[in-house]
A and B are shown apart, each in its own frame.
Chain A
Amino acid sequence: MATITLEFIDWLVIILYFVTIIGIGLYLKKFSNTGDDFFLAGRRNNSWVAGLAFLSANLGALEILGWTGGTVKYGMFVAHFYWIGAIPAMLFLALYMMPFYYSSKIHSIPGYLLLRFDEKNRRLNAASFAIMTILMSGINLYLMAIVFHIVLGWNMHISIWVSAAAVAAYITLGGLLSAILTEIVQFFLIWFGLFLVAVLGIIEVGGIDNLLNSLPDSMSALWSTASDHSANGMGVTWAGIILGLGWVLSFGYWTTDFLIVQRAFSAKDIHAARNTPIIASFFKMILPIIVVGAGLVAWKLQQSGQITFLEKNGHIWYDSALPMLIARYYPAGLVGLGITALLAGFMAGQAGNVSAFNTVWTYDLYRSIFKKDATDEHLVRVGRITTIVGIFLSILTAYWAMAFESIMDYIQAIFTWVNAPLFATMLLAMFWRRTTSAGAFWGLLTGMVTSFSLFLILKFGQINIPALGFLYDEAGKYDMSNNLWRAWWAWLVTLVLTFVISLVTTPKPESELVGLVKGLTPKLDMSDVPWFRKPVFWAAVAMVCVISLNIYFW
């Protein structure tokens, strides 16, 4: 069932993209010889490059397609994931956590846990993160294949293998540097390829005010329907938004997800690293123009019978909203650009996950367990092989995602298993010097098991456990609401358990924690930096902007 037909000019645009990224990979190969080059892009990027890469690692096609579909399903509440669910955490990372990450010269977040605690903490986090990246990489592949199969009529297997081969080629050649540069090219392709959809959609419905005024409150309000979970499409109250999303899921993702933070590690110095998330926050803030704007237009057009969403497994497939708008507005040529933007987004999402996977596997599992005396050259070779293996594993996991109606529900579920508990661990690790290795390990393990168990009980068990009525806004009914609350409880379990165990076990001597814990790390000397260039100033500007947006769309 193909709903978009590609002309010669569209194919030309798509093929040019493949030629470009493979060309960039080949060009960068000679610059990626050492471990730092391959895994940290040589720590040579300025804050603009690192900042755009930081956001691009998050801004895959999954994000764009998933949240446009999410807007059709949940309405304006999706903007929470861009504002309260992102900006405060990004700024917190920049101001408070980046100094510990960057100055310890680690290659990965598990690397920090090794320095702060011990080997078993590192391995636990590395293993869970490696599994998560492969799942995420797989869903990129799966979704790309299903989109191109349903929308364009392409063969699913060919879609998967061609794009997997292209990603394998440019990551194997250029490592993180290649991933970062292609992510930035993809960032611009997404803006130029998809922004126009929202613009044309808003033109068709008569402007933004006209659009918002024609929607019911459950679709157009950001906070005014948050006091009652039945008044909004997401089925969540303000408490779930603030605790589950604004605090745990958001901080867990933006401050501990190595895939994202790795981009800041590629910055050339600590100041550039701190500015990285701040620059990214401004771009993150304006993304709802594409995502929420296009989603609301799609909802309105669907209600008036002007477009029909595709179906998958007998249900309305919300994630088809964006391709349906592309088919509605884009003539030949622009269709190619729109499809290329989606392709680039999927491939960049996959590349980001695979490059993070190969860093964590190579440094935190392979070197730690199998070859402690590995040379730099040997590790780069292992990294290249790991890329290929990671892509094969991604292909295997690609089909698991089929069980989920909306991909963002699936992705947020994965984050609740890994990132939410890890955020509690990292918070205590960085800001409480009394935190012990045993506390961190058992707290993190229990938090992850708790989160995954809660997920399984609701997903497959269909068991009516009275306690869940307390844990969730309305147990089992809303996937996203369940995700937000599960994140909160997993975080709390990890925090409390880590705290209690740490009180009865022996902490590391303070001499071993210098540079890793607040209070034992020398403050950065910012005296020669003018006020308008200080991270704290731009973080304040970003906060004012995001608060204003929340008030405007209240």
Chain B
Amino acid sequence: MTEQNMKMFSIWFWVGLVLGIYGLIITGAGVYYIFNPETKTVLGHYNPSLWWGLIMLVFSFIFLAITGFGKNKV
């Protein structure tokens, strides 16, 4: 295979990967705040980390699924 026709990971794979990693970290923080409620921020009682992290994980899954979890290269 020459360099010209090499296939690479689609951009959506990278987006899904980044959102997935960050989603896990943010959701993890949200789970921590369930047991140790966050009081420094104005709306901390809503635990935005938990639901925002979960939303990121959903989007991560969608982007990774589009690329066949990295199998469909372009």
Contacts and interface: CB of A to CB of B under 8 A. Distances in A.
Contacts of A334: 26, 29, 48-49, 52
A196 B52 contact: yes
A9 B42 contact: no
A333 B25 contact: yes
Nearest to B42: A328
B61 interface: no
B41 A329 contact: yes
Interface in B23-74: 25-26, 28-30, 33, 38, 40-44, 46, 48-49, 52, 56, 59, 74
Interface string A13-30: 100100010001001101
B29 to A, nearest CB: 3
A334 B59 CA distance: 17
Nearest to A16: B21
A331 B48 contact: yes
A501 B71 CA distance: 59
Given A196-B48, A331-B48, A204 B29 contact: no
A90 to B, nearest CB: 21
A20 B15 CA distance: 11
B36 to A, nearest CB: 11
Given A28-B8, A204-B42, A329 B21 contact: no
B-side binding surface: helix, strand, loop or mixed? helix
Interface residues of A, number: 32
A88 B28 CA distance: 43
Contacts of B11: 49, 181, 184-185
Contacts of A330: 41, 48
Interface residues of B, number: 30
A189 interface: yes
B29 A185 contact: no
Interface string A326-348: 00111111101100000000000
A24 B14 contact: yes
Contacts of A49: 11
Nearest to A181: B11
Contact of A31 (B6, B14, B18): B6
A27 B48 contact: no
Nearest to B55: A192
A30 B9 CA distance: 13
A503 interface: no
A430 to B, nearest CB: 31
Contacts of B56: 192
A166 interface: no
A189 B21 CA distance: 12
Contacts of B41: 328-331
A-side binding surface: helix, strand, loop or mixed? helix
B15 A184 contact: yes
Contacts of B30: 333
A27 B46 CA distance: 40
A185 B3 contact: no
B3 A331 contact: no
A316 to B, nearest CB: 21
A30 B3 contact: yes
B49 A331 contact: yes
Contacts of A28: 8
A452 B23 CA distance: 47
A329 B14 contact: no
Given A184-B15, A331-B33, A331-B38, A30 B6 contact: yes
Contacts of B18: 20, 185, 188-189
Contacts of B74: 44
A15 to B, nearest CB: 11
A374 interface: no
Contacts of A333: 25-26, 28-30, 49
Contacts of A24: 14
A30 B3 CA distance: 7
Contact of B43 (A20, A27, A204): A204
Nearest to B14: A185
B14 A331 contact: no
B48 A329 contact: yes
Contacts of B52: 192, 196, 334
A396 B63 CA distance: 40
Nearest to A177: B8
B22 A337 contact: yes
Contacts of A337: 22, 26
A53 B25 CA distance: 26
A31 B3 CA distance: 7
B51 to A, nearest CB: 10
Contact of A331 (B19, B21, B29, B59): B29
Contact of B40 (A31, A184, A331): A331
Contacts of A13: 22, 25
22 contacts: A9-B29, A13-B25, A16-B22, A20-B18, A24-B14, A44-B74, A181-B14, A184-B14, A185-B11, A189-B18, A192-B22, A204-B43, A329-B43, A329-B48, A331-B40, A331-B44, A332-B29, A332-B38, A333-B26, A333-B28, A334-B49, A337-B22
Interface of A: 9, 12-13, 16, 20, 24, 27-28, 30-31, 33, 44, 49, 181, 184-185, 188-189, 192, 196, 200, 203-204, 328-334, 336-337
The 6 closest A-B pairs by CB, nearest first: A333-B29, A331-B38, A331-B41, A333-B26, A188-B15, A184-B11
Given A31-B6, A336-B25, 6 more contacts: A27-B9, A30-B3, A188-B19, A189-B22, A192-B56, A328-B42
